[in-house]
Amino acid sequence: MVIVVVLLLLVAYIYIAKNPTVLEKIPSKQPEPTPTTPIIITGDTIKVAAFNLQIFGTTKADKPEVMEVLSKTIRNYDVIAVQEIRDSSQTALPLLRDTVNSRGSPQYDYVVSERLGRTASKEQYAYIFNTQTIQVMGTPYAYPDSTDMFQREPYVSEFKAKNGNFDFVLITIHTDPDTATQEINDLPKVIEDAKSKYQGEGDFIVLGDLNADCGYFNENSQSPLRSSEYFWVINNSVDTTTKSTDCTYDRIIISNPAKTDFTGEAGVFRFDMAYNLTYDNTIAVSDHYPVYAVFWSYRDND
Ligand SMILES: [Ca+2]
Ligand SMILES: [Ca+2]
Ligand SMILES: [Ca+2]
Ligand SMILES: [Ca+2]
């Protein structure tokens, strides 16, 4: 019996050895389809974000769980424009930077605007940046708003990638909800003014809480900021609010010359999902999610 089995196995072995296609006919596993999102190699890109911190002052700075989420979020980006710093004591932002830096290398720093606003309720903007990858060029400024178009003048600063040649101008704003449409429609004037200051630069990026949806702005309107000179990388379908409303208040809008630097990767950062937060812990951080866009650090030609 054993001899018969051994003989059968031998015959089968000889047959397969002489007919290798028998084995090749077994269907092989198909490779997985390649993902549609581009593969980003760290170090080749600059990640830019905007985040409305919703009344960021000493009350929030005193909450370690809020500061932990903010500092982890900030460290995802090379430069992040933050809005709605409301802090007469001027201690909350330095504490935020220290909390970011307590997480280790790389270290972050910031530039901050003066306190802006027509009324006693003032807000500041800041750009918080990774000191290993980002260099601040020149002196940031608040838009010289001689005809008082803006409740809180846009804050403008030029930056350069240290890991490439990408240089760009960020223009952040938190519009007044009551006059959001007018302020959004006037933003091209701020871009034109910045172009005259940064001669030869083509890459202008407007970012922040524009209140550009729902009751404050018709996101399908033909705003001057919707002209063919600009590209809205955060599209109308994105929900940038942490609460149940579905509104695209927060935006990133780039000038045409920045399109060749844009990787195509942009969106909203759902810190609640990333850090597994409850609803209450989410809205304690902000009523907004950050929005972000990723740029190549070495493809710039202006
Ligand atoms: Ca440039
Ligand atoms: Ca929308
Ligand atoms: Ca929402
Ligand atoms: Ca460019």
At 226-248, the pLDDT tens digits run: 999 999 999 999 999 999 999 99
Q: Two tokens at 230?
A: 């600009």
Whether residue 183 lies in the annotated active site:
no
SS3 2: helix
Q: Return d(Cα 104, Cα 106) in angstroms, integer.
A: 6
Q: Please state, as a whole number, how many other Cβ atoms lie within 10 Å of the Cβ of residue 235.
A: 11
What are the residue ranges spanned by the domains of the chain? 45-296
Q: Return d(Cα 194, Cα 188) in angstroms, integer.
A: 10
What torsion do the CA atoms of 153, 154, 158, 162 make, to the nearest 10 degrees?
A: 130
Q: Is the pLDDT of residue 121 over 70?
A: yes
Q: Please state, as a whole number, how many other Cβ atoms lie within 10 Å of the Cβ of residue 179.
A: 15
How remote is the CA of residue 227 from the centroid of ligand 3, in Å?
28
For residue 29, give the DSSP letter: P
Q: Mind listing the pLDDT tens digit for each residue in 84-99? A: 999 999 999 999 999 9
Identify the pLDDT of residue 25.
43
Q: Is the pLDDT of residue 28 over 90?
A: no
For CA atoms 47, 82, 167, 97, the dihedral sign is negative
Q: Return d(Cα 168, Cα 78) in angstroms, integer.
A: 13
Average pLDDT, the chain: 91
Identify the pLDDT of residue 24.
43
> Which residues keep their CB under 5 angstroms from ion ligand 1?
167, 203, 300, 302
Angle of the 64-74 helix axis to the 92-101 helix axis, nearest 10: 70
Whether residue 174 lies in the annotated active site:
yes
> Exactly one of 174, 183, 201, 219 is catalytic; which is it?
174
Q: What is the DSSP string of 97-131?
A: HHHHHTT-SSPEEEEEPPPB-SSS--BEEEEEEET
Q: Return d(Cα 68, Cα 237) in angstroms, integer.
A: 29
Helix (H) or strand (E) holding 18: helix 2-18
Q: Tell me what percent of the residues of the chain surpass a pLDDT of 70.
A: 86
CA 274, 97, 122: angle at the middle one, nearest 5?
100
Phi, psi of 155 (to 5 degrees): -110, 125
Identify the pLDDT of residue 43.
75
- pLDDT tier at 34 (50, 70, 90 boundaries)? low
Q: Is the pLDDT of residue 1 over 70?
A: no
Identify the pLDDT of residue 301.
95
How remote is the CA of residue 184 from the centroid of ligand 3, in Å?
22
Find the distance separating the first CA and the last CA of the chain, reported in whole Å. Answer: 83
pTM given for the model: 0.86
For 45-296, CATH gives 3.60.10.10
Q: Return d(Cα 137, Cα 296) in angstroms, integer.
A: 19
Q: Give the burial string for 130-142 (b: 16+ CB within 10 Å, else e).
A: beebbebeeebbb
Which of the ligands is closest to the CA of residue 296? Answer: 4
